[in-house]
Amino acid sequence: MGVLSIGVFSSLIGSMNLDFALKLADAALQKGHKVNLWLSGNATSLVKKDQKHLKDYSTGEKPLKALLEKGVEVCTCEACTLARGIQKTDAIEGVQWNAMHWYLAKIHESDRVLHIGGE
């Protein structure tokens, strides 16, 4: 089994990239791979808790919590997150907060990297 690291920079609303990344992470997990998920730039909006699920908009809270429970390591860029007004107290529990070197370290140990840049 391999190690897959996914870096996402797209926003939760206005793009389907984050939805795709969450589904891909789950699919890789089900095949027995270890998955790491790095959130940077606008993707850090994913970590905000108490997202209201309106049917016209993507919501990432439920699938993200499910991934965390299954052992996916999820880390948000602390500077990017705080710059968007999201504090640690506002965030989904279990998400790690760190700097960009976290992503590089996970890339180092990965067999495959899927890097999804922002729009």
What are the residues binding other proteins (CB under 8 A)?
7, 9, 40-42, 99-105, 107-108, 110, 113, 115, 117-119
CB of 63 to other proteins, least distance (A): 24
- Whole-number minimum distance, CB 62 to other proteins, in Å? 27
Residue placing its CB nearer to other proteins in the complex, 59 or 96 = 96
Between residues 64 and 75, which has the closer beta carbon with respect to other proteins? 75
Which residue has tokens 């992503």? Answer: 103
Q: Where are the alpha helices (DSSP H) in 1-100?
A: 17-30, 61-69, 78-83
**Minimum distance from residue 7 beta carbon to other proteins (Å):** 7
- Within 10 angstroms of residue 41's Cβ, the number of other Cβ atoms is 18
Give the whole-angstrom CA distance, residue 53 versus residue 23: 17
Residue with tokens 């991934």: 67
Q: Edge-to-edge, what's the strand order for the sheet holding 112-116?
A: 96-98, 73-77, 34-39, 3-8, 112-116
Q: Rank residues 86 and 103 by Cβ distance to other proteins and give the closer one.
A: 103
Nearest approach, Cβ of 37 to other proteins (angstroms)?
A: 15
Pick the closer one to other proteins by CB: 55 or 108. Answer: 108
